[in-house]
Amino acid sequence: MMPGPGSPLALLGALAGADVIRTGAADLEAVQQDHRRLYRGKALALALPRTVDEVSRILAFCHARRIAVVPHAGNTSYCGGATPDESGTQLVLSLRRMDKVRSVDPGDYSMVAEAGCILANLQQAAEAAGRFFPLSLGAEGSCQLGGNLSTNAGGLNVVRYGMARDLVLGLEVVLADGRVLSTLSTLRKDNTGYDLKSLFVGAEGTLGVITAASLRLFPRPRDVATAFVAVPEPRTAVELLARLRESSGDRVGSFELVPRVAVELVARHVPGVAAPLGIGSPWYVLCELTSPRADEGLGALLERELAAALEAGLATDAAVAQNERERQAFWRLRESIPEAQTREGASLKHDVSVPVSRLPDFLRRASAWVQGHVEGAVLVAYGHVGDGNLHFNLGQARGADAALLKSQEPAIRRAIHDLVHEFGGSFSAEHGIGRLKVDELARYAPPLELELMRAVKRAFDPHGIMNPGKVLKT
Ligand X SMILES: Cc1cc2nc3c(=O)[nH]c(=O)nc-3n(C[C@H](O)[C@H](O)[C@H](O)COP(=O)(O)OP(=O)(O)OC[C@H]3O[C@@H](n4cnc5c(N)ncnc54)[C@H](O)[C@@H]3O)c2cc1C
Contacts to ligand X by CB under 6 A = 35, 70-78, 81-82, 95, 115, 137-139, 143-144, 146-148, 150-151, 153-155, 204-205, 209-210, 338, 430-431, 434, 467, 470
Cβ atoms of 251 and 291 closer than 8 Å: yes
Closest distance of CB 76 from ligand X, Å: 3
In whole angstroms, the minimum distance from the beta carbon of 94 to ligand X comes to 8
Smallest separation, CB 415 to ligand X (Å): 24
CA–CA distance, 367 with 445 (Å, rounded to integer) = 25
224 burial class (0-12, 13-18, 19+ CB within 10 angstroms)? middle
Residue 239 identity (one-letter amino acid): E
Residue 20 in contact with residue 29, Cβ under 8 Å? no
CB of 138 to ligand X, least distance (A): 3
Nearer Cβ to ligand X, position 12 or 73? 73
Do residues 260 and 283 lie in contact, with contact meaning Cβ atoms separated by under 8 Å?
A: yes
Rank residues 115 and 298 by Cβ distance to ligand X and give the closer one. Answer: 115
Give the nearest distance from C-beta 81 to ligand X in angstroms. 3
Smallest separation (angstroms) from ligand X to the CB of 392: 14
Minimum CB–partner distance for residue 163 and ligand X (Å): 8
The CA-atom distances, in angstroms, between 251 and each of 160, 163, 302, 303 are: 8, 17, 11, 14
Task: Rank residues 216 and 437 by Cβ distance to ligand X and give the closer one.
Answer: 437
CA Rg value for the chain: 23
Nearer to ligand X, 352 or 374 (CB): 352
Cβ atoms of 305 and 246 within 8 Å: the answer is no
Closest by Cα among 377, 359, 368, 382 to 285: 382
> DSSP labels for 97-164?
T---EEEEETTTTEEEEETT-BHHHHHHHHHHTTEE-----TTTTT-BHHHHHHTT---TTHHHH--G
In 157-251, which ranges are E strands?
Answer: 168-175, 180-182, 208-216, 218-219, 223-231
Nearest-CB residue to ligand X? 147
C-beta closer to ligand X: residue 305 or 387:
387
Residue 155 or 221: the one with the smaller Cβ distance to ligand X is 155
Closer to ligand X by CB, 68 or 244: give it. 68
Q: Which amino acid is it at 197? A: K
